[in-house]
Structure 1
Amino acid sequence: MRWFIALAALLLVSMGARGGFENLTCLDWSPTGEYMLFSQNGGLYLGQAPNGGYPRRLTPADTWVSWGRLGPGGDWYVYVTPLEDHYVLWRGWVSGGEPEELYRSQARISQPAVSSDGERIALVVEEEGTTDLYLLELASGELRPLTQTPFREACPDFSPAGDLIVFAGLWEGGESWDLFLLELSSGSIVQLTDDPFFDWGPRFSPDGEWIAFESNRRGVSDIYVIRRDGDGLTPFTYDQWRDAFPTWAPSGDRLAFASRRPDGWVILAEGTY
């Protein structure tokens, strides 16, 4: 697969007079291709694809949400909120209505990711200064560990087939965050990147062959793509801004990301082929 930066004008959207979103912390392209789910200033929003236009807030104004993901049909989404001395994983409905509580934990849980069949959710669980990945089976409510290390793991994402999870990890001897691939059936973990840079926010392509992620290999963060076997590392963006939170169009022909500009965050989409 070859990649190029589109020559067409980038698609921008303003969320106010400043010309950008404030404090954007996640981005997810809906499986139907119609919407973008994103969090900014502690609220979870749904806007038109590919640039987040005409956003409407999904979560209540009195809750703080920094991360959300859509379910496989695009009609529901998951997010986590802190409540007093515990954390709650919720499922909300794009059409509206009361959210459904999926899991409650005294340990800090964050960064949920939904499997392609909608039956499992990967979570980051933090206890005593370390984080591990856990898998929640929605049917049974069972939560089981996927990693048990003294290190840190973050931002999991399922492969389209549901057999793999890619994640970022800060492991022993590593100078910064790297990417790892976990096979669910065996529990084996393969390291995809090994470098002194900040590799973060990995997302599988719809065909499962590529992984897009943020990396500051030039000093400023760009979006890169790499094959699932660790080969073919290629820059996807090359600019002076921080580019983060990559997410694929369901067709795989475009890759969206957020870019931190002087007037705030903007959501851009560029073509792939």
Structure 2
Amino acid sequence: GNTDIYTLDVATQRRSRLTSAPSIETAPSFSPDGRQIVFESDRSGSQQLYVMPATGGQPRRISFGPGRYGTPVWSPRGDFIAFTKQNAGRFHIGVMRADGSAERLLTASFLDEGPTWSPNGRVLMFTRESAGAEGRPALFSVDISGRNLRRVPTETAASDPAWSPLLP
């Protein structure tokens, strides 16, 4: 089957269908200004990233490398998109400019997934699992240059990180 991207006006309960391709389209993320949506789709035959107006319109493909792209999320300023990429048996956390240019892979591991942006847009936190029976999920952070990869200490296995907003 296929899945599509919709928006829902909570006040009126009006639902608007944004995509209608015979493909799987998931993981939408709004740009900070609310004007665009990035999402993953296999409409090209492989899982890639697309951007479209939040009001509807023609999606524009922004990823073109080998492998499967997923879980896209806009940076707080809207200038970058972070994503997960699976290629050659490894998972990566990467970033690209909002137009798809300047793709950089920041990590490579058995399973890195689910990037989330720090409020200042300089650091990504994500979940990493190691191979084997002892592979428990852990939180890691890396800056957007790919430096300062660090495990975030937790007392138990941890996944799905979220940042609190900056306080005034």
Aligned to 2:34: 162
Partner residue of 2:10? 138
Aligned residue for 1:250? 119
Provide the rounded CA distance (Å) in 1 between the counterparts of 2:33 and 2:88.
Answer: 33
| TM-score between both structures, scaled by the size of structure 2 | 0.79
Q: Given the alignment of the two structures, is residue 206 of structure 1 paired with residue 76 of structure 2, yes or no?
A: yes
Q: Give the C-alpha shift of residue 203 in structure 1.
A: 0.6
Unaligned runs of 5+ in 1: 1-128
Count of matched residue pairs: 142
Aligned to 1:180: 50
Amino-acid identity (%): 32
Choose 1 or 2 for highest CA Rg.
1
State the SS of the aligned residue for 1:250: coil
Partner of 1:130: helix, strand, or coil?
coil
- SS class of match (1:237): coil
1:58-104 CA distance string (max 9 Å, x none): xxxxxxxxxxxxxxxxxxxxxxxxxxxxxxxxxxxxxxxxxxxxxxx
In the aligned structure 1, how far is the partner of 2:55 from the partner of 2:72? Answer: 20
Superposed structure 1 runs of 4+ greater than 6 Å apart: none
- In the superposition, the TM-score normalised over structure 1's length comes to 0.49
Shift of 1:218: 4.2
Would you say 1:272 and 2:141 are equivalent positions?
A: no
1:132 aligns to what SS in structure 2? coil
1:83 is matched with which residue? none
Distance in 1 between residues matched to 2:135 and 2:96, nearest whole Å: 30
Matched, 1:192 2:62: yes
Provide the rounded CA distance (Å) in 1 between the counterparts of 2:40 and 2:12: 27
How far does the alpha carbon of each residue in 1:95-150 deviate from its partner, in whole angstroms, 9 at most, with x for none? xxxxxxxxxxxxxxxxxxxxxxxxxxxxxxxxxx1100000111111111011111
Alignment correspondent of 1:230: 100
Aligned-CA RMSD value: 1.5
- Counterpart-to-counterpart distance in 2, 1:208 and 1:253: 12
Deviation sequence 1:188-217 (CA, Å, 0-9, x none):
211011344110000100110101101123
Letter matched to residue 102 of structure 2: G
Greater share of strand residues, 1 or 2?
1
Q: Distance in 2 between matches of 1:263 and 1:197?
A: 23
- Structure 2's unaligned 5+ residue stretches are 146-168
1:221/1:185 Cα in 2 relative to 1: closer, same or farther (>3 Å)?
A: same
Q: Distance in 1 between matches of 2:95 and 2:8?
A: 28
**Relative contact order higher in (CA < 8 Å, ≥ 6 apart):** 1
Change (3 A) 1:150 1:197: same
8 Å CA contact retained: 2:18, 2:56: no
